[in-house]
Chain A
Amino acid sequence: MTVDDVVKTLNLKVFCGEEGLSRQVENGYTSDLLSDVMGHADAGSIWITLQSHINIMAVASLKELAGIVLVKGNKPDEDTIRQSNIEGMPILGTDLEAFEITGRLYQLIRSA
């Protein structure tokens, strides 16, 4: 499954980093603590968070995540968008809360 498949199935908004929509999605990780993601997220995961500042890009790219989903209508900061486009790391969005989008993504990945 690609990031683009996830976008279409879960009706996510694509903010930036479109070049990375073909990345493969292997797993998911939900956390707002950057050190938690650094320490525990697997490569190829979609990261669900409400954090929208530029440091999420460093974490996502260092950990080789598949993409980031911002919850509750949060939007990425300007410098976050710039970095996302440079690195081709997709930042997606949903109006849903972390609990709900995590559940939907979990079902989608586990049923694939």
Chain B
Amino acid sequence: MQLEYSIEGGDFSHAGFASSQVKRVLKQLNVDPKLIKRVVVCLYEAEVNVVAHAYSGIIHVLINTNEIVMKLADKGPGIPDISLAMQKGYSTASDKVREMGFGAGMGLPNIQHNADDFKISSNVGEGTNLEITIKL
């Protein structure tokens, strides 16, 4: 099964929409609740990153019998130094985003912690791609 969602940069009122849709589908498929929790944390953090940093993004979620793969591709400023972005507490979020309780530099580490496999690549001035895999 494949699901697709689009995200608009800056649109915080819809951040989490894809995560809640995917959660609903996985529940209907009787996926282990522990795995659903990990999927939801990963996808929500990834969604918020696109909203907070990029101009737009597309999410593809592939659900197979043995794994769930979430691919996020955004158009945005990209990440110049990925190893720095992966560090807990490092963030380039604006003051406005921080005041909302985002931008604490916890998103990417949260994804890495919950994913079985996590790939991130980025081109400065073009955008960032994530591939998050959770094994069933």
Which chain B residue lies CB-closest to A51? B101
Please indicate the chain A residues that have their CB under 8 angstroms from the CB of B20 in the complex.
58, 61-62
B104, A36: Cβ atoms under 8 Å? Answer: yes
- Is A72 engaged at the interface, CB distance under 8 Å to the other chain? no
- Is A53 engaged at the interface, CB distance under 8 Å to the other chain? yes
What does DSSP make chain B's interface, helix, strand, loop or mixed? helix
B110, A38: Cβ atoms under 8 Å? Answer: yes
Interface size on A, residues (CB 8 A): 19
Interface size band for B:
20 to 34
- Is B74 engaged at the interface, CB distance under 8 Å to the other chain? no
What does DSSP make chain A's interface, helix, strand, loop or mixed? helix
Please indicate the chain A residues that have their CB under 8 angstroms from the CB of B104 in the complex.
33, 35-36
Q: A33-B106, A36-B104, A39-B113 are in contact. Are A55 and B45 (CB under 8 A)?
A: no
A79, B13: Cβ atoms under 8 Å? Answer: yes
A and B contact pairs by CB, cutoff 8 A, 7 listed: A35-B101, A35-B107, A38-B110, A43-B37, A53-B100, A58-B16, A62-B20
Give chain A's interface residues, CB within 8 Å of chain B.
32-36, 38-39, 43, 49, 51, 53-55, 58-59, 61-63, 79
**Further contacts, 9 of them, CB under 8 A, given A43-B37, A55-B102:** A32-B101, A35-B107, A38-B45, A39-B110, A51-B101, A58-B15, A58-B16, A63-B40, A79-B13
